[in-house]
Structure 1
Amino acid sequence: MLFLLASAAAASVAAATAAPAPAAPDGEAPQAERQLDEEIVVTGRQEAPYRAQVVQVGAFRNQSALDTPANVAVITRAMLDDQGAKGLDDALRNTPGITQQSTSPTTSNNFAARGVLLNARTNYRLNGALQIINLGPIPVENKQRVELLKGVSALYYGLSTPSGIVNVVTKRAGDRPVTSLYVDGDVEGSVGGGFDIGRKVGAGDAIGIRINAYGSHIETPIDGVNGYRYLASGAFDWQASDRLSFKLDVEHYRRATDEPGGITLPTAVNGVITLPAIPSPHNRYAPVNAPYRTWVTNALGRMDYRLAGTWSVRVEGGYANTRRQRMIANIGKTNLVTGAGTIAATYTPDQEYANLYWRAELAGEAQTLGIRHELLLGYARNRQVQEDQHPQSYAAVKQNLYAPLALPLSALTPTTVRLTAGSVNIDTGLYAMDQAHIGEKLLVIAGVRHVDYRTRTSSTDFALRTWTPTGALVLRPTPKTSLYFSYIEGLESAGTAPDGTTNAGSVLPAVRSRQLELGARAEAGGMLLSLGWFRINRGLAYTDLATNTYVVNGRALHQGIEASVQGTIVPSVSVALAGQYLVARQRQTGVAAQDGKLVDNAPRWSGSAFVNWQPVGALPLGLNAGVYYTGKRFTDVLNQGVLPAYATLSLGASYRLALAAGRTMTLRANADNVTNTRYWATGGSTLYVGAARTLRLSAAVSF
């Protein structure tokens, strides 16, 4: 990796990723470079701004959506802009079945998809490659789009939970120069600003540079919870020759805010958990200035070399590092009538996580008996390190659920410091995939990965070697329709025992998951329509309420139907509609009261609908509206309590002004939770109230 980064850096301001290779002259074989989404640069309104033509995640990178045998949700830059998105929670609300669990969305996003938690250290990727660590909100100011590959993804990504892979794709320099300056803020008092500059320079525009920077003061609707954040990033490309290219991405971001404090799930009485009335979303339970701080640095380098004919080699490597300081301060043992309760607080000042990643691939085409094979052979290795941690506990302090006190940090009395041992996880994979095109109507996909996985802690040493297969069929009845069937096996780490459990910080061994998926897609005008059924059978990891211990025990069967429509209905109206029906049940737990119960925090019904109206012609006005629905969820594995269903409404408007010298100014206003609905934003052992009504404003000048 050091050689790769050094080579790229020596070449230019910061060398980097592959720009698209020149098109092959007529009669020559097409070049085999599998171009990533970095080549897709939005320079204005597209014909279908909410519809993605290709998929850029996993082994299906740069593949037509119609030929992809999996559910992939894509949130484009145009949609992010129209919705005024500031983070992944704003982006992923456009995909059904997404919930959050046990952490405050104000400070961190702990997502679940299809009723399965996304692992913060394995299920998030930068440019389809580097495992980034999601322990603080991932910024989107420097991102071109956000993708969610739902379900099992073991062939390309190795160990990860079968919820899905979130892929964030960085902006890159395109054929047209980009210069944008912008400011934004909200009615709570937040104010920020940044710039986005992209250029191609050098002989033949061989070098591409895209620089983004942003900084802001943060105020939230939660009383006294504020802070700041900043981002600096660079995406660099160097087309060294018609065969050789480099890419480099570097980003650093920091966020410092206060922990608002959560509400510990009440204890069941006679088999029933009674939840309190949803308190004000402005309430803060944690002490004043209780810290939540994150520092994140991600670096990813890549080299592509085109061999003879259609064959090419890719080598890439990266490093992700996240530091976090966090105080957990949750109110529990609450009198639901008076609100009287106590705060249980823990402060961990020294959390540090690092991922070291590298990959090498050989890709190309071969013909056998009239069948065109797209072949992919690869080696990947991820090394995850979690340093030792030293949580400091504090004596309980009185607090009130409905009328919280402004507690100074000095009111906390330290008690014990304990050691949470660190760990090292190494996931090494050898994989091969063949996409066999039989005529123009049938695609047969077969792949296999050899997994070599090891987890080491001070007390455990777990090793596993096995194979995980992948198979799929894609039928194209017409050029604009497809039917697909896929079967995938995968491995997932059962995760790390969460804070508050008796074995907090313990890394559990890996378990196997199996997924079947059947679906159909169709292009209709400027829209892409998708319908799919899925079935995931996975190992069950949960907190045993009887012992308050995080365990792996039994199986969970997740079955459901997903449907979506994205694109342009008429030239002036773009839509993004999606819905999911899910039934996720627990089995073989050995606990009669638990077998057959639904998985907690997994709504049966969920969906979203977003519509943007932007007339074609002289009128520079845009209006949009979105509705986001989450059905009722159970609070725990025994289904003893229920989180009610809720829906939120968002409204937005934009206005574009023409300025002198070809400049434009775009003004935007976006309001979320317009009706000020009160709802539980998270499930799990700790509950957080959803954000109150917010209004964001922004102004951007483009040169």
Structure 2
Amino acid sequence: MSSHRPSNGRASLRARVFCRSSLPALSPVAIAVLGLTLSLPAKAQSQGDAAATLPTATVVAERSGEAVKVERVSNGALGDRKAVDTPFSVTAVSSDEIQQRMAQTANDVFKYDPAVQVLGDNARTENSYFAVRGMRVDMLNGTKVDGQNFVTWDADIPLEPFEQVELLKGLSGFMYGFGSPGGIINYVTKRPTDKPLREVTIGYQTNNVWSEKLDVGGRFGMDDRFGYRFNAVNEDGNTNEPGVHVRRQTLSLATDFRITPDLTWSADVMYWKRKSQGTIFGLSFGTDTIPAASSVARNLAQPWSSHETDTLTVGTGVDYRINSDWKTSFKYRFARQNRLNADSFLYVFDNNGDFADTNYRWKTAYYYQAYDAMVQGKFDTGGIKHEIVAGLGYLSQVRELDSGLGGNGIAMGTSNLYNPVLLPEQPDVGKDYMPYRDYKIQQKSIYLSDTIQFTPRFSVLAGVRYNNFTQDNYTPDAVKTSHYSANPFTPTVALMYKTDNFSTAYVSYVESLEQGGSASVTNVNAGETFGPLKSRQYEVGFKTDRDKWGANVALFRVDKGYEYTNTSNVFVQNGNQQFTGLDTSGWLRVARDWRVMGGVLWLHTKTRDVDDPAINGNRVFATPNYILTGRVEYDTPFVPGLTLWTGAKVTGSMYVNSANTQQIPSYTTADLGARYTTRVAGKSLTVRAALNNVFGRRYWTTTYDGFVLPAATRTFLMNASLQF
């Protein structure tokens, strides 16, 4: 969608409702933190140059009810720019709008973007994730925090510590290095506020999930040189999915020190943990017939099955403004994710719905380190203007696995889709974890781009990244089993024409590499790992961003290497996939109190040059032919401060497997919501409520080759926030 976002309320009006009589008190930890934070001095900034701070999302709103505009987005090796000034499809959502939508994961953030297709959600399965234009976002390289690689393997990143979430659709080889052609999700960390911020939010979700959230920030010290931003979240309870319990905690602290007007140092530390019980890994059908999701019982998972992750990350950086035209930056980030799962894979082996429940128990750890240095500047050569971005980057990824019995799967017994039964837990099997280094990946890169402006309207972007990629795989005995290296150049080139000050027409070409996949535990060649896949993208587009309306239109084609499970149940890397489509979206303020937004994705996919004749020429699995979205917001004049909204999304049918012998039907979901903003005792108060999947539609989603997942049913959410 456009970076111009409909919203009710000023961007500075952040807080949300708090009803002491009917909602529970904050947890003791939150109360202690609140008391400590309120005791810190916090003054409105009187001095300081915004250019000296780290690049952050800038959000402005002209009046209550008008669209909230995200002014600038991150573009990796292109630096920060307005979305409308880039030759790529980029969308960004601010933390204000995230709160207004009551979004819980990135799935919710980009729900109404027609290019985004939900693959799985954490209501019934391990985590939430999605595809963009039919291509799954890479869980090892497709997620960034402040532009640096961040692990999200089977884990969700909480939204509370972040000021903005950005989505780059399509290839990212030049801008970010390795990553699938589905796109890049970038989370921009919340930074210290210039004015004191104190916000408490209490939330509720059916069946009985309660949450308490705290967000505080400000500045102190001589000339307000020191800043802080602290977020804390506690969430716990039984969801409306049978037997599913969730517990989540998040803590984050971001600081900065304005050493001089031109030099700023920043640092942050974030930790989050989530555990869900009653979850499943996925289902696979041994028959060509997949029953209607509405006919299947909802309590397929065993109540003792679980999935747990915890993540710690630390980042720091320095930004230095050399002069009005040149600036440089250096940043470092460390991230560690632990994952402990004991959930089940269900294999349905007959048309009666009988399935075998196999419980997989793994302990996995990922360690990431990233260093990045960048220089950005402008200069003229005669009448031609240049905008240069150059940089160096280093990234290491290490994965540790356990080698216990649980990794090979534990047969729990059989059950039935329509009449599931409780199976006995085997608590001591597969929990004697013996971790070992499974692989290590290193990437060293250097990149350079020049945006050459020949006239006030016409410009050319040329960029290239050189990447030195190495991967070493090991046995549990620390014996190196394989080594892979590649030294690719990934270029990009684009022509841009400003039809006016608010609009850009463009043509772009991008190349990219993504990390090769591994055979799953259900494949004959389980564990086999392949080298990188190459992709190419061609895109022609137009985007405009105005006061009362905005639009994005992109015609694209992507050719990428193919990985799939052949008819012999062997995971292979062979042939190509072709994705051709039209991605359109926009928003319009119809009248003073009415805003509409929506879009359409048309998508055609096909496999080419595949050795397996049962797969060659097929439609790519897990890709719909179309997605339609729409959303309407209404600021009620009869109750000032009250906004009503509704939205819907239609997703076309998809093949489940590469052989195109299994299919799931199209589905439609609809949501309703309201928010009310007022002032109580001089404090800002906002109450929100939403009903997702209003009609309780039950449907399947599909992800990996041959897998389906059950989606969440009707869910009611509400929260109340107080800012003081």
Do these two structures clear the TM 0.5 threshold for a shared fold by scoring above it?
A: yes
CA contact (8 A) 1:49 1:78 kept: no
Structure 2 counterpart of 1:99, from 117, 123, 131:
117
Secondary structure of the residue that 2:208 maps to in structure 1?
coil
Matched, 1:342 2:356: yes
Alpha carbons of 1:282 and 1:335: their partners in 2 closer, same or farther (altered >3 Å)? closer
Match of 2:32 in 1: none
The C-alpha deviation readout for 1:254-293, integer Å capped at 9, x for no partner, is 001114225532235xxxx210231567623333221211
Structure 2 counterpart of 1:691, from 708, 712, 720:
712
Partner AA of 1:582 in structure 2: L
CA contact (8 A) 1:395 1:414 kept: no
The C-alpha deviation readout for 1:448-494, integer Å capped at 9, x for no partner, is 11110001002110011121111111101222221001111111112
Q: What pairs with 1:442-457 in structure 2 (closer than 5 Å)?
A: 442-457=458-473
Q: Give the Cα separation in 1 of the matches to 2:668 and 2:401.
A: 41
Match of 2:160 in 1: 141
Secondary structure of the residue that 2:175 maps to in structure 1?
helix
CA contact (8 A) 1:126 1:132 kept: no
Q: Give the Cα separation in 2 of the matches to 1:575 and 1:518.
A: 25
Secondary structure of the residue that 2:77 maps to in structure 1?
helix
How far off is 1:419 after superposition? 8.8
Partner AA of 2:94 in structure 1: T
Structure 2 counterpart of 1:599, from 574, 597, 620:
620
The C-alpha deviation readout for 1:317-359, integer Å capped at 9, x for no partner, is 101111001123122234333x3222122211x2001111010
Q: Give the Cα separation in 1 of the matches to 2:496 and 2:592.
A: 31
The C-alpha deviation readout for 1:611-646, integer Å capped at 9, x for no partner, is 222247971211111102211111111111111100
Secondary structure of the residue that 1:155 maps to in structure 2?
helix
Q: Give the Cα separation in 1 of the matches to 2:327 and 2:509.
A: 28
Q: Give the Cα separation in 2 of the matches to 1:528 and 1:103.
A: 30
Q: Give the Cα separation in 1 of the matches to 2:192 and 2:637.
A: 27
Uncovered stretches (5+) of structure 1, i.e. residues with no partner? 1-12, 14-18, 24-30
Match of 1:518 in 2: 540
Q: Give the Cα separation in 2 of the matches to 1:510 and 1:346.
A: 27
Q: What pairs with 1:98-497 in structure 2 (closer than 5 Å)?
A: 98-101=116-119, 106=124, 107-261=126-280, 264-268=283-287, 273-279=288-294, 283-308=298-323, 310-337=325-352, 339-348=353-362, 350-390=363-403, 392=406, 393-410=409-426, 422-458=438-474, 459-497=481-519
The C-alpha deviation readout for 1:39-72, integer Å capped at 9, x for no partner, is x257996674354333223234431222111111
Match of 2:91 in 1: 73
Deviates more, 1:471-480 or 1:138-147: 138-147
CA contact (8 A) 2:227 2:256 kept: yes
How far off is 1:387 after superposition? 0.9
Secondary structure of the residue that 1:190 maps to in structure 2?
strand
Alpha carbons of 1:356 and 1:455: their partners in 2 closer, same or farther (altered >3 Å)? same
Structure 1 counterpart of 2:554, from 504, 525, 532:
532
Matched, 1:586 2:607: yes
Match of 1:665 in 2: 685
Alpha carbons of 1:400 and 1:419: their partners in 2 closer, same or farther (altered >3 Å)? farther
Q: Give the Cα separation in 2 of the matches to 1:281 and 1:622.
A: 37
CA contact (8 A) 2:367 2:397 kept: yes
Deviates more, 1:196-205 or 1:497-506: 497-506
Q: Give the Cα separation in 1 of the matches to 2:62 and 2:400.
A: 45
How far off is 1:686 after superposition? 2.6
Match of 1:27 in 2: none
Partner AA of 2:684 in structure 1: T
CA contact (8 A) 1:133 1:320 kept: no
How far off is 1:225 after superposition? 1.2
Alpha carbons of 1:57 and 1:447: their partners in 2 closer, same or farther (altered >3 Å)? closer
How far off is 1:413 after superposition? 7.1
Alpha carbons of 1:36 and 1:378: their partners in 2 closer, same or farther (altered >3 Å)? same
Q: Give the Cα separation in 2 of the matches to 1:417 and 1:359.
A: 35
How far off is 1:371 after superposition? 1.1
Match of 1:552 in 2: 573
Deviates more, 1:441-450 or 1:98-107: 98-107
Partner AA of 2:284 in structure 1: L
Alpha carbons of 1:525 and 1:92: their partners in 2 closer, same or farther (altered >3 Å)? closer
Deviates more, 1:353-362 or 1:62-71: 62-71
How far off is 1:161 after superposition? 0.6
Deviates more, 1:324-333 or 1:411-420: 411-420
Deviates more, 1:592-601 or 1:199-208: 199-208
Secondary structure of the residue that 1:138 maps to in structure 2?
coil
CA contact (8 A) 2:368 2:396 kept: yes
Secondary structure of the residue that 2:402 maps to in structure 1?
coil
Q: Give the Cα separation in 1 of the matches to 2:256 and 2:61.
A: 18
Uncovered stretches (5+) of structure 2, i.e. residues with no partner? 1-39, 41-45, 475-480
Secondary structure of the residue that 2:534 maps to in structure 1?
strand
How far off is 1:432 after superposition? 0.3
CA contact (8 A) 1:231 1:252 kept: yes
Secondary structure of the residue that 1:372 maps to in structure 2?
strand
Q: Give the Cα separation in 2 of the matches to 1:259 and 1:97.
A: 31
Structure 2 counterpart of 1:49, from 67, 75, 90:
67
Deviates more, 1:303-312 or 1:620-629: 303-312
CA contact (8 A) 1:525 1:569 kept: no
Q: Give the Cα separation in 2 of the matches to 1:648 and 1:298.
A: 35
Alpha carbons of 1:249 and 1:132: their partners in 2 closer, same or farther (altered >3 Å)? farther
CA contact (8 A) 2:283 2:709 kept: no
Q: Give the Cα separation in 2 of the matches to 1:336 and 1:262.
A: 21
Match of 1:36 in 2: 55
Alpha carbons of 1:477 and 1:322: their partners in 2 closer, same or farther (altered >3 Å)? same
CA contact (8 A) 2:461 2:493 kept: yes
Deviates more, 1:415-424 or 1:221-230: 415-424
CA contact (8 A) 2:402 2:433 kept: no
Q: Give the Cα separation in 1 of the matches to 2:680 and 2:606.
A: 58
Alpha carbons of 1:668 and 1:280: their partners in 2 closer, same or farther (altered >3 Å)? farther
Secondary structure of the residue that 2:500 maps to in structure 1?
coil
Partner AA of 1:341 in structure 2: F
Secondary structure of the residue that 2:109 maps to in structure 1?
helix
Structure 2 counterpart of 1:22, from 49, 61, 66:
49
Secondary structure of the residue that 2:560 maps to in structure 1?
strand
Q: Give the Cα separation in 2 of the matches to 1:460 and 1:372.
A: 48
Q: Give the Cα separation in 1 of the matches to 2:468 and 2:359.
A: 39
CA contact (8 A) 1:103 1:682 kept: no
Alpha carbons of 1:201 and 1:417: their partners in 2 closer, same or farther (altered >3 Å)? closer
Deviates more, 1:321-330 or 1:682-691: 682-691
Alpha carbons of 1:387 and 1:312: their partners in 2 closer, same or farther (altered >3 Å)? same
How far off is 1:697 after superposition? 1.3
How far off is 1:388 after superposition? 2.9
Q: Give the Cα separation in 2 of the matches to 1:192 and 1:415.
A: 31
How far off is 1:93 after superposition? 1.5
The C-alpha deviation readout for 1:184-206, integer Å capped at 9, x for no partner, is 01220001111111112223332
Partner AA of 1:66 in structure 2: V
How far off is 1:134 after superposition? 4.1
Partner AA of 2:423 in structure 1: L
CA contact (8 A) 2:142 2:149 kept: no
Alpha carbons of 1:683 and 1:412: their partners in 2 closer, same or farther (altered >3 Å)? farther
Match of 2:701 in 1: 681
Secondary structure of the residue that 1:677 maps to in structure 2?
coil
The C-alpha deviation readout for 1:117-172, integer Å capped at 9, x for no partner, is 21111000112224242421211122222211011111121110111001112222
Matched, 1:642 2:657: no
Q: Give the Cα separation in 1 of the matches to 2:412 and 2:556.
A: 46
Match of 2:24 in 1: none
Match of 1:16 in 2: none
